[in-house]
């Protein structure tokens, strides 16, 4: 059962929040290649969001090759999803790995008035949250 946590007032588009979280389930192995995802209608009802929002999230994920929609059958994790992730791994490495994102994070922290120690704490929290509490 796919459980997504949405925050309409976060400033991040709902369809984006959905995409990110579905991707994470896949990366963490909670769902794998060929697994079926909830129907648009079901997910929309469950999350109390507009069906078109689900459509947008699924469409974007399909464009990236993460999922595949089969007419009349449903939505599934793409059978070659691991290839996609693999290719992405290489792509990120080519650009220089996570350095840029980490730098960005630290800058954002400074802009918010946090000091380095606070940044480390936030990162630790994220690590704990992801590695420890997965479904």
Closest to DNA by CB, 14 or 81: 14
Beta carbon of residue 57, minimum distance to DNA (angstroms, whole number):
8
Closest to DNA by CB, 3 or 41: 41
Residue choice 7, 63, 73, 135 for contact with DNA (CB under 7 A): 73
Angle 14-27/51-63 helices, nearest 10 degrees? 50
Binding residues for DNA, rule CB under 7 A, total 26
Backbone angles phi, psi at 122, to 5 degrees: -65, -45
Q: Does 96 bind a copy of itself (CB under 8 A)?
A: yes
Beta carbon of residue 8, minimum distance to a copy of itself (angstroms, whole number):
6
Nearest CA among 81, 54, 76, 53 for reference residue 65: 81
Q: Distance (Å, rounded) from C-alpha 50 to C-alpha 14? A: 10
């Amino acid at each position: 059962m796919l459980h997504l946590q949405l925050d309409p007032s976060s400033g991040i588009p709902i369809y984006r929040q959905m995409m990110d979280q579905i991707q994470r389930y896949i990366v963490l192995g909670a769902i794998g290649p060929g697994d079926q995802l909830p129907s648009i209608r079901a997910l929309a009802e469950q999350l109390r969001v507009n069906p078109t929002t689900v459509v947008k999230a699924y469409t974007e994920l399909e464009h990236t090759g993460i999922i595949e929609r089969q007419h009349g059958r449903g939505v599934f994790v793409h059978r070659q999803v691991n290839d996609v992730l693999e290719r992405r791994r290489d792509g990120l490495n080519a650009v220089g790995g996570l350095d840029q994102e980490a730098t960005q994070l630290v800058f954002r922290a400074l802009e918010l008035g946090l000091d380095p120690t606070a940044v480390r704490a936030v990162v630790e929290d994220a690590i704990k949250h992801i590695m420890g509490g997965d479904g």
